[in-house]
Amino acid sequence: MTDGDERTAADRSVFRIAARMRSFRYAARGLRAVFQSQPNAWIHAAAAMAVILAGAVVGLSRLEWCLIVGAITAVWVAESLNTAFEALCDVASPAVHPLVERAKDIAAGAVLITAVGAAITGAIIFGPRLVHLR
């Protein structure tokens, strides 16, 4: 430990505004990295905006909004964790390794499962409204 690091655990756990602001900057940097490295993130963003717009047009209930927001959030969490996982895999094994490739495929599959679940949620919520538009 250097002289500048001689703080106790209690000192480090104290809430500091500057530290919280840094954590938000790090989070924003992470989201930027997802958008810059993952073309599917743009698809997720477009789908989320379309669903939000459609929800505003049809007048979703509070419960329906909660389900939609939950589904959108789940997809973004899955995509972000998948991106982080892929980056860690690339550092751990820069050369192609069958187990790393398998792990990456499984993580991508988790994103697919989440996106399909979100699409089903959207179909359940918007489907009856679309049928009545005919």
Instruction: Say if residues 75 and 121 touch (Cβ distance below 8 Å).
Output: no
Q: What is the distance between the alpha carbons of residues 53 and 127, in angstroms, rounded to a whole number?
A: 15
Q: What residues are labeled active site?
A: 79
Convert 8-23 into a string of H (helix), E (strand) and C (coil). Answer: CHHHHHCCCHHHHHHH
Residue indicated by tokens 């991508």? 108
Angle separating helix axes 17-37 and 62-92, nearest 10 degrees: 80
State the maximum Cα–Cα separation within the chain, in Å, rounded to a whole number. 72
